[in-house]
Structure 1
Amino acid sequence: MKIKNLKIWALAAVAIVALAGCTQDEDYKTAEFTPLVLAEDFLHSADNTPLVITNWENIATAGTAKWKQQIYQGNGYAEFTSYQSGEPSNIGWLVSPAVSMDVAEGEILRFQVSQSYVSNTVSNKLEVLISSDYDGTNFAAATWTPLQANLPTVDANYFVFQDSGEIDLSGYTGNIHVAFKVTGGTANAIDGSYQIDNVRIYHN
């Protein structure tokens, strides 16, 4: 009787090990199906200098202020500010490389964002936009559509990053570009700053 019981327990142990092994394999394979299509952590230029990233565009369409590289305690992030620009209006665009929407399905955009000294999000605002017809050269002729994201309000703590939330891009095909656009300027003290970090596009 004892021998039979030992055999039963042995078979049960083998079954448990086999099931555990299958679960681990499934978890590993599931992770493989959510690859990063775009990942940017913003650590490329010297601290407090214009941000230069291969295949990204840093464009000023009003005034001369551009997105800058900022580094704090070893962490890099992108920042746009009109502070001390001396110009009544500043508009800066940070445009991603082309990202293909035809590789898989269920694409999601997600990033971290914070603000500092923003007192009016109408005049001093951050917008997240997407274009499916930008050819990489004719920026002004492209169509840029706003994306809904969880962006900081004037009450948000300064320099405290918050999650944008998952932004669904699954309705797009072909190549897309994502842009972060900040409007500001020294007129009417609309000279607050916005910070962006950990930009990700991945498959859900």
Structure 2
Amino acid sequence: MKMNKITTLLFASLTMGMMSSCVNDDDTTLPEYTPLIFGEDFSGAADNTLFEKEGWLNFAEAGTPRWTNQVYSGNGYAEFTSYQSGQTSNIAWLITPGINLDAQEGEKLVFQTAQAFVDNAANTIEVLISTDFDGTNVTAATWQTLNATFPTTSATYYQFIKSGVIDLSRFTGTAHIAFKVKGNGTTLDGTYQIDNIRVYN
């Protein structure tokens, strides 16, 4: 059952208070939100290897490149690029394990993204959510785009920025969050990085 709304509002107020007092604009890591429902900081994997983690799906819808693990100065993150793919279309998804949205209320999503060598607005990244994804068939699921802040073509390379707080409270059931990049091997061959994914309430 969902938590009592008054209790949830108190948790949310405390969480927002911690955010406003602890998070600086130039931070590159996110605090440990409490209560944390889901979190991923991409630590522990070897540099420049294919991203493979239990429960996740790393899927190439078009072309062959998929998301990889990268490590820089001890910080792990996931990265996608279609650089030198030689393919006219590259579409890649990185999809979280299922997240139970019925055990509590007031869920929020935050994460960080960065870009490098993205010089065309058609080379895109977006974040989506599905509550009917079966864990396998990506294109058969219903995906809704979430409103988030992403780095623009003029952003400093490899500088992570915050997504903003994304309200997930209107969704119920088991949800999957997806990060989807579109590019190609010639004119849209920039690189995107994601890190510090948190779902909390």
TM-score by length of 2: 0.82
Distance in structure 2 (CA, Å) of the matches to 1:130 and 1:120: 25
Structure 2 equivalent of residue 175 of structure 1: 174
Equivalences, count: 173
Structure 1 equivalent of residue 34 of structure 2: 34
Structure 1 equivalent of residue 134 of structure 2: 135
The residue identity in structure 1 corresponding to 2:163 is S
Q: Is the CA contact (8 Å cut-off) linking 1:113 and 1:194 kept in structure 2? A: yes
**What SS does structure 2 have at the residue aligned with 1:114?**
strand
Q: Is the CA contact (8 Å cut-off) linking 2:113 and 2:194 kept in structure 1? A: yes
Task: Note the 1:161-200 alignment, pairs <5 A.
Answer: 161-187=160-186, 189-200=187-198
Give the structure with the higher percent helix: 1
C-alpha offsets along residues 4-32 of structure 1, whole Å, 9 cap, x if unaligned?
xxxxxxxxxxxxxxxxxxxxxx99xx57x
Unaligned 5+ runs, structure 2: 1-9, 16-32
Could you say which structure has the larger radius of gyration?
1
Q: Is the CA contact (8 Å cut-off) linking 1:44 and 1:51 kept in structure 2? A: no
Structure 1 equivalent of residue 148 of structure 2: 149
Distance in structure 1 (CA, Å) of the matches to 2:158 and 2:77: 11
> What's the offset of the Cα at 1:45?
3.1
> What's the offset of the Cα at 1:54?
1.2
C-alpha offsets along residues 118-177 of structure 1, whole Å, 9 cap, x if unaligned?
0112x2100100001112133221011100001111111000000000000000111110
Stretch moving more, 143-152 or 46-55 = 46-55
Runs of 4+ in 1 over 3 A off after TM superposition: none
Stretch moving more, 136-145 or 53-62 = 136-145
Distance in structure 2 (CA, Å) of the matches to 1:52 and 1:182: 17
Unaligned 5+ runs, structure 1: 1-25
Distance in structure 1 (CA, Å) of the matches to 2:45 and 2:59: 16
The residue identity in structure 1 corresponding to 2:75 is N
Amino-acid identity (%):
54
Q: Are 1:48 and 2:40 an aligned pair?
A: no
